[in-house]
Structure 1
Amino acid sequence: MSGRPRTTSFAEGNKQPLNPPLGGMKISSDRSGKDGSKVTTVVATPGQGPDRPQEVSYTDTKVIGNGSFGVVYQAKLCETNELVAIKKVLQDKRFKNRELQIMRKLEHCNIVKLKYFFYSSGDKPPDVPCNMSIFLATQQKDEVYLNLVLEYIPETVYKVARHYSKSKQTIPISFIKLYMYQLFRSLAYIHSMGICHRDIKPQNLLLDPETGILKLCDFGSAKHLVKGELNVSYICSRYYRAPELIFGAIDYTTRIDVWSAGCVLAELLLGQPIFPGDSGVDQLVEIIKVLGTPTKDQIKEMNPNYTEFKFPQIKSHPWQQVFRARTPPEAIELVARLLEYTPSVRITPLEACAHPFFNELREPGTRLPSGNEFPPLFNFTGHELSIQPSLNNILIPLGMQSNQNQAEGGPTQDSSASGAGATLDHAADNPALTNASGSAVA
């Protein structure tokens, strides 16, 4: 699957000087633990709250991912034995890192938590194999790396969907509702703060198989959108790229995330990407095959500066014919509300949460196909309830509304409505997957 090139997350002229200077540099105090494993101690700053650097020790470090953005490690915190992911990216010392700035502002149950961050120097050999010429070209003593210490979550929606696809099955509709509801809830939260993720895709949706909780991750492309401030249009992985981006818009809104979420929902329902374009232009062709040719007014809404209107006139394909016959009509209707050419016509993430497709989640006693309870879904904070108050009567199940009214600062969910200790039988290495879900596949 192709995506846009990535270097660092302080592109597009985010030229704020890094002040104070790089604090929290890594302490070179590697030592051996009681079991002989290497223990690294760093001076790290907590992800949230005041800047109070503290020593943090971790061990059992191993590479679990890498790309143009940097390297991701898994490690274990010595004090708590908690597994964490450490994302290491090259830091331009002249500027603040946008990903770090954004993640320090975020605190939500459906967003991966930034536990700590620290800086390290680049005068050591690379952490992944490379030849000497690459090493000499990239590893200079004055280079500095930012390390984001994040909570570790083992699975992704992408891995789960691929597992079902290989088994020639579709994900049970209950799981789709659970995953998408939590995604929309996370989007409602960041959009209310003016933050656009700009890379919504199954690979960036983390899943905890023990609890069923979904968390949005990878804010390396995220940006606080300001009206009148221009942005790059070549953003977001291709299959999930909103049409206004393909038309070259540079003054887009957070509704590009809504389009991407619609593509994810459609993919989970279909078992494959809905718009699998081979290039930027082909991506638009795939969209037109389903939505039909956009009108001049729709193109103007997507990008007022776009003047080339030479497109073959193709009629839209009925949504009912795009999906399998047994696909719930509420799911199809929601996809149609999300995948609109005109950005302002797309529903908001919170309106998506309130959509009838998710009514089953709000019914008392509803459980997953395995019989397990859902994780907490209605523990709305006061901030969340202030985003679109007119939706609150729908978002909060009737039996819980009195509890929400009595809560102060951060309403909590009645544990009888939906517990947090559920177990989803869809871990990639779990042989019970097919048995647990086979009867639920429509």
Structure 2
Amino acid sequence: MSLVGYQRFSVIGRVVGSGSFGVVFQAKVREKGQTVAIKKVFQDDRFENREVEILCLLDHENCMPLKHAFNFLEGEEYLFYNLELEFFSENIHRVIAHYANYRQTLPLIYVKLYMFQTLRGLAYLHSMGICHRDIKPPNLLIDPASQHLKIGDFGSAKLLTNDKPSISYICSRYYRAPELLIGATDYTCSIDMWSAGVILGELLIGTPFFKGENGTEQLVEIIKVLGTPTKDQVFAMNDYYVNFQFPKIDPNDWGNVFHEKYSPIVSLEAVDLISQLLVYFPYQRMKPFEALGHPFFDEIKFGTNLPNGKLFPNLFNFQKKEFDYGKRWIRKILPNSKIIVLCYEHICSWEPNFPVC
């Protein structure tokens, strides 16, 4: 990380995002003319900036890296951090909205491509013990030219440890796992997998999957699909929760759920995948590497071109950390020819400790 100032930029452009964290605007680097995004966030000088700390750890194809950071005082009182990041002009939220404007849903090949890259980014984060805690469509950034996806906005991310509780009021409501809705503070990275499952549903139907007006209504919307949680399920989500006053509803069949939501592109594989992500028991949710090996993604493992004829972004350039973390599922993820190539390339440099060829 380099400490630089605004003199690094020749143009400070339009605002491209804003929220409770601060504001993101577009800028152009003076030296190379490269377009970047600058995220301006308030920094309480009594605390370390967790987002900066986590961004400095990241080096992955599907996670947004930190280029530079600099801070400054505005007036004599307020300290701000400015994070210089890659500029991606699109995100999944805007892509879904574009298709919705034409009363269409995203072609299934793009659903698979976006979800594969999202899950791969989560696999990397979770291998480091990092929970993103705000996986949602606006935070999944896309380069429209290559369809390369990167997870962005690590303002809520945290390195989870067993000895330190975490706040339950985290993650945007539509994508918030049920354990967060009932106040859990000892949750795991599985909350990201719930969010990923909800996003898969949204990509398939073109609208948010669970749309509660508040936390209670959000939980009710989930119960309408999964049914009333049992005491064992509630205990698994939050063993301190004592209020069992839930509406008595039987679980809905996933095929019926998608039929009711009028999804024209749902497949048996999509239904099976989402049914293993959106479950009450946090420990039963698919791990990201396990999900990458699901048959739902078979099409893109052997395809090389997008519908417009352009090549796929690189989906299989796994790092040693990813191999070590996902060795139980690697055979299901990689096409056989790619296993052989990757074995040859990587054994020479870091010798993975499992037989893949």
Structure-2 separation of matches of 1:345 and 1:156: 29
Determine if the alignment matches structure 1 residue 330 to structure 2 residue 269: yes
**Residue equivalent to 1:414:** none
**Residue equivalent to 1:315:** 250
Number of equivalenced pairs: 344
Letter in 1 for 2:279: E
Determine if the alignment matches structure 1 residue 117 to structure 2 residue 86: no
The within-5 A match list for 1:33-432 is: 40-41=6-7, 56-123=8-75, 141-323=76-258, 324=263, 326-363=265-302, 365-408=303-346, 409=349
Structure-2 separation of matches of 1:410 and 1:339: 36
Taking a change above 3 Å as real, the CA distance of residues 410 and 200 of structure 1, as seen in their structure-2 partners, is: farther
Contact 1:360–1:366, Cα closer than 8 Å, also in 2: no
Question: Considering only aligned residues, what root-mean-square deviation do their CA atoms show, in Å?
Answer: 1.6
Structure-1 separation of matches of 2:101 and 2:11: 35
Displacement after TM superposition at 1:25 (Å): 7.0
Structure-1 separation of matches of 2:74 and 2:50: 20
Displacement after TM superposition at 1:60 (Å): 4.0
Displacement after TM superposition at 1:68 (Å): 2.3
Letter in 2 for 1:99: E
Give a deviation string over 1:130-155, Cα, whole Å, max 9, x none: xxxxxxxxxxx132211100010100
SS in 2 for 1:214: strand
**Residue equivalent to 2:355:** none
Give a deviation string over 1:46-80, Cα, whole Å, max 9, x none: xxxxxxxxxx3442433222232112111011111
Give a deviation string over 1:76-133, Cα, whole Å, max 9, x none: 111111110011111111221000000000010111121000111202xxxxxxxxxx
Once the two structures are overlaid, the 10-residue window that deviates more, 57-66 or 329-338, is: 57-66
Letter in 2 for 1:303: N
**Residue equivalent to 2:354:** none
Once the two structures are overlaid, the 10-residue window that deviates more, 320-329 or 245-254, is: 320-329
Displacement after TM superposition at 1:325 (Å): 6.1
Structure-1 separation of matches of 2:54 and 2:198: 25
Aligned-residue identity in percent: 48
Gaps of 5+ in 1: 1-22, 27-39, 42-55, 124-140, 412-442
Letter in 2 for 1:400: K
Which of the pair has more CA radius of gyration?
1
Displacement after TM superposition at 1:252 (Å): 0.3
Displacement after TM superposition at 1:371 (Å): 2.6
Gaps of 5+ in 2: 352-357
Structure-1 separation of matches of 2:80 and 2:12: 20
Give a deviation string over 1:249-305, Cα, whole Å, max 9, x none: 000000000000000000111111111011100000000000000001000000001
Indicate the structure with greater helix content. Answer: 2
Structure-2 separation of matches of 1:271 and 1:64: 23
Give a deviation string over 1:7-58, Cα, whole Å, max 9, x none: xxxxxxxxxxxxxxxx9474xxxxxxxxxxxxx41xxxxxxxxxxxxxx344
Displacement after TM superposition at 1:366 (Å): 4.4
Displacement after TM superposition at 1:410 (Å): 8.0
Structure-1 separation of matches of 2:218 and 2:12: 42
